[in-house]
Amino acid sequence: MGAIRAVSSEEFDDSRFEQSRLRMVQEQLLTRGIADERVLAAMRRVPRHLFVDEMARPAAYEDEPLPIGSGQTISQPYMVARMTELLELESDSRVLEVGTGSGYQAAVLAEIAGEVWTVERHGALAERARRVLARLGHRNVHVETGDGSLGLPHHSPFDAIVVTAASPGVPPSLTDQLAPGGRLVIPVGGQGTQRLRLIRRDPNGLQETDVLGCRFVPLIGAHGHPSGEVRRLRVLVEGRVQGVWFRESTREEAERRGVRGWVRNLADGRVEAVFEGEPAGVDALVRWVRRGPERALVTEVTVSSEAPQGEQGFRVTG
Ligand code: SAH
């Protein structure tokens, strides 16, 4: 089912923008071989200018990606059309999008498919997309906040999954959530340029096709790229924690999680440590410290944050 068009005031769709939109479809999509009528119709309908910042509106129908805040971008119209076409959507398809951004791609999907789930890791972007999509009357789109590299297992299987951020590989969590015959479209590669890949789940397994070169912002998450954020915490541990392999075990656990820093015994019987690294890794190490190694008895753990210092490796001292 397409969207229910609740509103059609000039605020939403003045004719100036409609002219540019029809020209965009003609000049950027038809000439480059987009042929699926449903995709072309959706691209003619969805008011792209409402998904970009007010200042970027005049450029909304240009042949380029545009900034949408939080360091993210809305893809070039051709890329949106091409990815949508590769998904081979039907009016009853269940679709997952990873990387909601502005919500524009989700609106295009919702014009064609039955039900669309879209996941965004930035809460502010998700909220804004939710508002625009609701204003436009798209009732078949559900915007969720979280790490979309894990998919949405409780809503799977999906007939089509589209990832609109660059992934270091093809996340098994996503191929696992494809229905038989389902299609996954995903840009794979590092932070510069990537290759757009189409993966189809057929009875003989997963069939992969290389489509074209592309450039997306990174997919950040469990099956994506590391966030590049650094968390540094100071941890004080009380209990029976000295002379029970506490420091050595902490070093091993830290190294296993790629966490840097140091650990030492204090004169008053406590253990002090500083952990620095990827937030998820540091948090997991703190959770481990609360239990401690086999022979330890942890009674209290105090955690405070410290300014990043640029630790190297993990040292046991004192
Ligand atoms: N499809 C969007 C453009 C997406 S830009 C549109 O039509 O406007 C890529 C988006 O992916 C960014 O908003 C980024 O925050 C988001 N993102 C990156 N990693 C993510 C993850 N693991 N889960 C969900 N969203 C993610």
Q: How many CA atoms lie within 13 A of 169 on its CB side?
A: 8
Give the model confidence (pLDDT) of 58-75 as tens digits.
Answer: 999 999 999 888 888 999
Q: Cβ(46) to ligand 1 under 6 A?
A: no
Q: Cβ(120) to ligand 1 under 6 A?
A: yes
Give the model confidence (pLDDT) of 237-270 as tens digits.
Answer: 999 999 879 999 999 999 877 789 999 999 999 9
Q: Is the pLDDT of residue 283 over 90?
A: no
Cα 65 to ligand 1 centroid, rounded to whole Å: 13
Q: Cβ(72) to ligand 1 under 6 A?
A: yes
Give me the domains of the chain, ranges plus CATH numbers. Answer: 18-213 (3.40.50.150), 231-317 (3.30.70.100)
Average pLDDT of the residues in 128-155: 94
Q: Angle, nearest 10°, between helix axes 37-45 and 104-112?
A: 130
**Cα–Cα distance between 103 and 118 in angstroms, integer?**
8
Of the chain, the percentage scoring pLDDT greater than 70 comes to 96
Q: What is the largest CA-CA distance in the chain?
A: 77
* Number of alpha helices (DSSP H) and beta strands (DSSP E) in the chain: 9, 14
Give the strand pairing for 314-317 and 260-265.
Answer: parallel
Residue 192 main-chain phi, psi, to 5 deg: -90, -95
Q: Which atom of ligand 1 is least distant from the CA of 99?
A: 11
Q: Which atom of ligand 1 is least distant from the CA of 118?
A: 24
Cα 29 to ligand 1 centroid, rounded to whole Å: 23
Q: Is the alpha carbon torsion for 190, 214, 175, 284 positive or negative?
A: positive
The DSSP H or E segment spanning 239 is strand 231-240
Average pLDDT of the residues in 37-66: 95
Q: Cβ(196) to ligand 1 under 6 A?
A: no
Mutational pocket test of ligand 1: of 98, 191, 214, 216, the residue with most ligand atoms within 8 Å of the beta carbon: 98
* N-to-C CA span, the chain: 67
Cα 313 to ligand 1 centroid, rounded to whole Å: 32
**Other CB atoms closer than 10 Å to residue 102's CB: what's the count?**
26
**Other CB atoms closer than 10 Å to residue 212's CB: what's the count?**
11
CA distances from 104 to 79, 121, 129, 136 (A): 12, 16, 8, 11
Give the model confidence (pLDDT) of 165-221 as tens digits.
Answer: 999 999 999 999 999 999 999 999 988 899 999 999 999 999 999 999 999 999 998
Mutational pocket test of ligand 1: of 78, 220, 227, the residue with most ligand atoms within 8 Å of the beta carbon: 220
Q: Cβ(149) to ligand 1 under 6 A?
A: yes
**Cα–Cα distance between 110 and 148 in angstroms, integer?**
18
115 torsion bin: left (phi>0), alpha (psi -120 to 50), beta (else): beta
The SS3 assignment for 182 reads strand
Q: Is the pLDDT of residue 289 over 80?
A: yes
Q: What's the pTM?
A: 0.77
Cα 187 to ligand 1 centroid, rounded to whole Å: 12
